[in-house]
Chains A and B, each alone.
Chain A
Amino acid sequence: MGNLKILTFVCNWCSYGGADQAGGLKLVYPESIRLVKVMCSGRVDPQMVVNALRDGADGVLVLGCHPGDCHYKEGNYAAQNRATLLAPMLQQFGIEEQRFRLDWVSAGEGERFSKVVTEMHDAVAPLGKLHLHSRSTSEVA
């Protein structure tokens, strides 16, 4: 299970700070977690999520500021609304609900960052790698 990849988007203003603090405190978290910094959780277009899953991510985690704290005021509400509709749609494609999650981590929450990403890893690990079907016809029949 060592080669699981969980793409984790962290917003610049809160969650990245949380990840940074986790690093400063030398908290341990799973190596499957791959961080990508974005300006805001509201910047994470669902196209980025499906592309990540197609390109080898076994799970996608989006972390933003707590409700009311978004640097851009409403970005995390947009993220919440999208995630709430994206989750059932991913399930229609057979992608288990554990493989996609949105949560909140503030800049001072190093501990919480480590807890949330570890939970995410532990939820995806039993499912194993994500195997999407190829789109080309060469693997059919």
Chain B
Amino acid sequence: MSEAKPKVAFYWCASCGGCEEAIVDLNVAMLDVAAAIEIVLWPVALDHKYSDVEVLADGEIAVSFINGAIRTDEQAHIAELLRKKSGLVVAFGSCAHLGGIPGLANLTSRREIFRMSYHESPTVVNPQKTEPIPGGQCEGKEVALPEFWEQVHTLDQLIEVDYYLPGCPPMPGGIANAVNAILTGNLPAKGAVLAPDKALCETCGRRQSKDPRTRIAKIHRPHEIEADPQVCFLEQGIICCGPATRSGCGEACINGNMPCSGCYGAPPGVTDQGAKLLAAISTLFDAKTPEDAQALARQVVDPAGSFYRYGVPASVLARTIEKE
């Protein structure tokens, strides 16, 4: 490989693999990208060792794309290593950006997760009550496991992040634009989210059908009714996160006749996506008495999971307080 090619790393932390898939989905465009760069680490696709990265000079990697949230010390270790060796770090996808789906685990505790996963789940047989521990002796040898932290973190709660590529996963167009911007040095100010500033409702094709006087008399979950594909979801009593979600996905879910669940995170000016969404939706309740308000609130089955689906760790409250 030629010396001049910028070095690039891809890494996954607490991730579902969908963000890796999104890179592969670049298809033919990926070949152009691959020809223009030298990949130094990509565990899901190529056989590098961490030691290959350790021997690089600080800042030698032009850019590291890191997806997934942070919950183990192994993830933290590699993320810190890549930070040291990289000029730029891009938080790739909702999990790295906001905590993502794995971040919903912050609504419970490590203790509860271990209790369910290793003891109480109906499919578990564990008479010796074994639980993972970070390390110890086994048949005379030292063994180690990554330590599972108390809570899930966003990437920028651990290391400095230069840019954010939002989405669960990011859309191919957004990835291609970001990669081009980086390769050509045509980048916005550090810390920017590489997506438009508008809220999804401003770009959504259904916005015309939104009537400011609409009040919701009943909340429907998406599987309960057949949504009219022309009409704003909120008009139909279906929770849609468009009012407090950044645009840039091309209204992917809306076009599939599913409401937005918020994966691009908050648009500028919103400090807490979930609280903002809660306000946007509850303000539409057709209720003037406490009883009517209660009846509607109860129809929102999981408020935290609905309004912070991709962003509990990034939220102002960040996690459930564990009681002794």
Residue ranges of A at the interface with B (Cβ–Cβ < 8 Å): 45-47, 49-51, 53-54, 67, 77-78, 80-82, 84-86, 88-90, 92-95, 130-133, 135-137, 140-141
Contacts and interface: CB of A to CB of B under 8 A. Distances in A.
B288 A77 contact: yes
B257 interface: no
B76 interface: yes
Contacts, number: 125
Given A89-B303, A133-B151, A94 B321 contact: yes
Contacts of B300: 85
Contact of A50 (B270, B296, B315): B315
B149 A133 contact: no
Contacts of A95: 317, 321
Given A46-B279, A94-B320, A80 B271 contact: no
A67 B288 contact: yes
A47 B279 contact: yes
A85 B278 contact: yes
Contacts of A81: 282-283, 285, 287, 293, 296-297
A132 B151 CA distance: 13
Among A88, A137, A141, the most chain B Cβ lie within 10 Å of the Cβ of: A137
Contacts of B158: 137
A45 B317 contact: no
A141 B276 contact: no
B281 to A, nearest CB: 8
A46 B270 CA distance: 11
Interface residues of B, number: 47
Contacts of B282: 78, 81-82, 84-86
B321 A47 contact: no
B233 to A, nearest CB: 17
Contact of B107 (A78, A93, A130, A140): A93
B307 interface: yes
A86 B293 CA distance: 11
Contacts of A136: 157
A95 B307 CA distance: 17
A99 B149 CA distance: 28
B290 interface: yes
Contacts of B272: 46-47, 50-51
Contacts of B319: 93, 133
B147 interface: yes
B41 interface: no
B275 A93 contact: no
Contact of A45 (B107, B279, B321): B279
Nearest to A68: B288
B321 A93 contact: yes
A92 B303 contact: yes
B303 A88 contact: yes
A85 to B, nearest CB: 4
Given A45-B276, A53-B317, 5 more contacts: A47-B276, A53-B316, A67-B288, A93-B107, A140-B153
A65 B296 CA distance: 22
User: Closest 8 CB pairs between A and B?
Assistant: A94-B321, A89-B303, A46-B275, A92-B304, A84-B293, A81-B285, A94-B320, A50-B316
A92 B279 CA distance: 17
Contact of B320 (A85, A93, A130): A93
A92 B313 CA distance: 14
B76 A51 contact: no
19 contacts: A45-B276, A46-B278, A50-B275, A51-B271, A51-B272, A51-B316, A53-B317, A80-B288, A81-B296, A81-B297, A90-B317, A94-B321, A133-B150, A133-B318, A133-B319, A136-B157, A137-B70, A137-B76, A137-B157
Contact of A93 (B70, B76, B281, B304): B304
Interface in B141-164: 147, 149-151, 153, 157-158
B107 A92 contact: yes
B297 A47 contact: no
A123 B299 CA distance: 28
A93 B317 contact: yes
